[in-house]
Amino acid sequence: MASSSENNVNSDLSERMDGVSLNDGDVEMENTDLPSAIIIVNVADVVFESESEKSIFEEVFRQFDAGATFQYLKSFRRARCNYCSPIVAAKARIQLHETELCGNRIKCFFVQSPSEALRNSEPYLQLPPLEKQFLISPPASPPVGWEPVPEAEPIINYDLLNAVVRLAPGEKHELHPPVDNAPAIVVHICEDPEGYKDKPLVQTRRPNCGGP
């Protein structure tokens, strides 16, 4: 036999649901982005301590969906109810919000669903763009409002690199031709001494550490 508390809850719920169906315009959300679960806050302590009170609590929410499932957060006095569709969840949220259940006035809220950007993103942080960051170092005591200023990328003189590559040992290279008031600038590249690469390294003699 149902308890008086359960009868009172069912009676109050019947009055709230009178004349309301899942096809009502308030909950007609075929293409909605609403979640299919709700969070119930201010759940009475007896719901966590008594199986009979928990059954009464769950029965109220299962009147919208017999297959609803629950997760309880006793430390926060909250519970989560999972429904089969957002339409059913919206109907339960509308009808049960601010309802007195098991001695407490509960409040119902939709579970916050992740945004579209988060749903489509990877579950980990993305690497920054593959580019060097040339930033000017901050001063020792940055003034108020100081912000780092991006520095221009270093200029690579490819003509100079090409000229260096063409330098050959034992040859002279004219860097600047002579003019009326200045001589030419000529660079003579030194050759490596013969046998320099094959010269053995002389090992340093270990000092005599023996006793007298």
Averaged pLDDT for residues 18-39: 59
Q: For residue 9, tell me if it sits in a domain.
A: yes
Q: For residue 175, tell me if it sits in a domain.
A: no
Q: For residue 69, tell me if it sits in a domain.
A: yes
Residue 16, pLDDT above cutoff 60:
no
Model pLDDT, residue 119: 61
pTM above 0.75, yes or no: no
Q: What is the CATH number of the domain that holds 21?
A: 3.30.70.330
pLDDT in tens, 31-75: 456 788 999 999 999 999 999 999 999 999 999 999 999 999 999
- Which ranges of 38-157 would DSSP assign to H, the alpha helix? 45-49, 51-62, 86-96, 116-120
**What is the Cα–Cα distance from 178 to 76, expressed in whole angstroms?**
89
One-letter amino acid of 27:
V
The residue among 53, 57, 83 whose CA lies nearest residue 68 is 83
Residue 108, pLDDT above cutoff 90:
yes
Model pLDDT, residue 43: 93
Q: For residue 135, tell me if it sits in a domain.
A: no
Q: For residue 12, tell me if it sits in a domain.
A: yes
pLDDT in tens, 111-128: 886 665 566 667 777 776
Would strands 100-101 and 78-82 be described as parallel, antiparallel, or unpaired? unpaired
Residue 130, pLDDT above cutoff 90:
no
| Averaged pLDDT of the chain | 77
Residue 25 belongs to domain spanning? 4-113
Residue 19, pLDDT above cutoff 60:
no
pLDDT in tens, 153-194: 778 888 888 877 777 777 787 878 888 888 988 888 777 666
- The lowest-confidence range among 1-10, 94-103, 197-206 is 1-10
Model pLDDT, residue 197: 65
**What is the Cα–Cα distance from 58 to 192, expressed in whole angstroms?**
91
**What is the Cα–Cα distance from 202 to 4, expressed in whole angstroms?**
103
Q: For residue 88, tell me if it sits in a domain.
A: yes
Q: For residue 62, tell me if it sits in a domain.
A: yes
Domain count, the chain: 1
Higher-confidence position of 168 and 85: 85
Q: Is 172 exposed, middle or buried (0-12, 13-18, 19+ CB in 10 A)?
A: exposed
